Amino acid sequence: MMNKFLLLLLFALALVSVQALDAFAAGNPDTGPGCGLGKLAWQDYKGQKQIAPQVMMATTNGTFGSQTFGISFGTSGCTNDGVIMRTERTNVFVFTMFDNLSQEMAKGQGEHLASLATLMGVPPEHQAEFFALTQEKYKALLEAGAASPVAVIKAIEDAMAEHPVLAKVVAAR
């Protein structure tokens, strides 16, 4: 029985050691639980990658809810640039409105198409070009996007990148 326990303990220790070596070998820049009051309160503690300061950071963030607040409002060392959210919002919109969008892309106008243009960062003064582009490239866009909403968006972005006016919109994102 003692041999099994010792073997299990050695296995667990080896596993932890290998993971620790991986983190150090890769030059892992991560110094703990992201941002929030816990990160700020413990940032001067030497040995940020050690268990104790990371537990204290996570506990402080969890106790005060500061990480969620910081991410939402861009405080406490957190950012809220929204790049991921903006992309995901566009993906969800295309997924849920695909039938309406495909009809409006064929026509070159419509509320759903205008909403897509806004979600993709096309300013109102360039939406007419966006509508014309989607109408002109309708068949190719739908063929490219048959696999998924992400593929439709990628095909639209690729077409925009080749357009003299809309390429600036893609480059600005």
In the chain, the N- to C-terminal Cα span, in Å, equals 62
Tens of pLDDT, residues 38-79: 777 777 777 777 777 778 788 887 777 767 777 666 677 776
Average pLDDT over residues 107-129: 94
* CB crowding 72-87: b at 16 or more within 10 Å, else e: eeebbebeeeeeeeee
Tokens 């360039």 found at: 126
Asked if 105 contacts 113 with a C-beta cutoff of 8 angstroms, the reply is yes
Indicate the pTM of the whole model. Answer: 0.54
Tokens 């997924």 found at: 95
